[in-house]
Amino acid sequence: MKALVPSKPASVKTMPQETWILNGLLVTQDAKRRAIHSHLRIVDGRIAAITSKKPSKISKSATIIDAQGLVVLPGFVQAHVHLCQTLFRNQADDLELLDWLSKRIWVMEAAHTEETLHASALLGIHELLASGTTCILDMGTVRHTNAIYEAVKTSGIRASVGKCLMDHPETTPLGLREATRDALTEAVALHKKWHGTENDRIRVSYAPRFVISCTEKLLKEVALLSREQGALVHTHASENLKEIQMVKQMVNCENVEYLHQLGLTSENLVLAHCIWLKPNEKDILKKTGTHVVHCPSSNMKLASGFAHVPDLRKRGINVALGADGAPCNNNLNMFQEMRLAALIHKPSSGPKAMRAQEVLDMATRDGAKALGWFKDIGSIEVGKKADLIALDLNCPENVLPATLSRKPDPEAIASSIVYSTQPQHLRWTLVDGKTVYSKGKVHTIPTPALMKQVHEAQLKIARTLSRAKSSKVNS
């Protein structure tokens, strides 16, 4: 007699999560930069259909979002952010870069605990989601990086995050310095733990702070890891003239030349700032496909200078946008970065130097390209993830021309977004098809609890700094 074999339990079929966004004016940011009156069908977080015909039947289980009167576009991608610094906003003003770092930022970063870093990250993410940014490339501090990933996980934002790497024995503060092997071992462990998690909403990059703070050994090993894993490398370059002088003294060449010699320049390298580049460095960036991030507010506030963005773009170098850290900005508002990016180059290069459409590209498509995420985000197209925002551009202070209701003009709409729009015009934010912000609230980060956490974290850091100062005086 044959033994009875228990039958396999029937597999449970989960119903696809379906959302319809109806009646919106879509600024697609696709290859043709179309602006169209259409309806969007989203299934399991991806755009399944774009149709001008209103659906006659919609599943009773589907979520319906009425976008009548709203402009729907891809969420903004900020390609250079420091969530670890958000807690220090308004505490490091009116300093140039190297003093800003050594006298304020590095001191406060070294005082972070896991709890204070988590609060800082949530504070930054709250502002980002409430102002239309759905994806970021973040450089953490040296320790407690898991706290940033946890904040990203619970908040719903899309992010590539890298532990900050600082190992140079002569140019880094003791409170942030690590042994080369310890720094790399932890960075690799973070990659193994977090990369591709949350349905690929979280990725891991490698983040050597800048040439000054890193040994050649560390930078070479980061280059090797990047090639082996296809991982992004995120660092600063040529931001400040004094920084460049130090780099020349240390390695006898320019920033980009040195990174190129070490094998770091590639489509997987993202360089923040790049203000003071020599022509041969620009040639290297073009040849290798290395990406640049323009941070206009930060560059002006730290008196660093003006990146030659029109020239970089003319050469075919991909340039994205970023707010940088809250203490050198002092906000994370992409609308401000777009407006400044469009305006500051006009006096020297002419009124058409940076058209509004180009700047909107930098904030969406080009940011997604820099982060290696363009297959999934950066434009509204079938198959891409539903990282979307909706703007009300029919307000007294920002009125779209009435003629656009009949025949949408992408250039005119881009002008309204870049020159006139502010966070108060944002109506909702979706990441992976999920509503993370609407009706003035970030649903994943309750504001009252956040502000209590932030207040406690700031006091904790202040006490740590006070004790360190007293100890130094007494010794």
Q: What is the mean pLDDT of each run of 10 residues along the chain (475 residues)?
A: 43 74 97 96 97 89 95 98 97 92 93 97 98 98 98 98 97 95 98 98 98 98 98 97 96 97 98 97 98 98 96 98 97 98 95 96 98 98 98 91 82 96 97 97 96 97 86 60
End-to-end CA distance of the chain: give it in Å, rounded. Answer: 87
Task: Identify which of 254, 256, 252, 358 has the alpha carbon closest to the alpha carbon of residue 313.
Answer: 358
What is the predicted pLDDT for the residue at 3? 41
What are the DSSP calls for 171-220, one per residue? TS-GGG---HHHHHHHHHHHHHHHTTHHHHTEEE-BEE--GGGS-HHHHH
How far is C-alpha 53 from the chain's CA centre? 35
Angle, helices 145-155 vs 114-129, to 10°: value is 40
What is the predicted pLDDT for the residue at 4? 41
What is the predicted pLDDT for the residue at 2? 40
What is the predicted pLDDT for the residue at 403? 79
Is the full-model pTM beyond 0.75? yes
Task: Check if the beta carbon of residue 280 is closer than 8 Å to that of residue 301.
Answer: no
CA atoms within 13 A on the CB side of 221: 16
Q: In angstroms, rounded to a whole number, what is the distance separating the alpha carbons of residues 293 and 363? A: 10
Q: How many CB atoms lie within 10 A of CB 428?
A: 19
- Domains annotated for the chain, with CATH where assigned, are 18-74+385-442 (2.30.40.10), 76-370 (3.20.20.140)
Provide φ and ψ at 87, rounded to 5°.
-65, -20
Task: Identify which of 424, 34, 31, 372 has the alpha carbon closest to the alpha carbon of residue 195.
Answer: 372
Q: In angstroms, rounded to a whole number, what is the distance separating the alpha carbons of residues 118 and 130? A: 18
CA atoms within 13 A on the CB side of 312: 28
What is the predicted pLDDT for the residue at 16? 79
Structure tokens that stand for 79 in this block: 């390609």
Q: In angstroms, rounded to a whole number, what is the distance separating the alpha carbons of residues 382 and 39? A: 12
Structure tokens that stand for 238 in this block: 């040529």
**What is the SS3 assignment for 36?**
strand
Task: Check if the beta carbon of residue 361 is closer than 8 Å to that of residue 375.
Answer: no
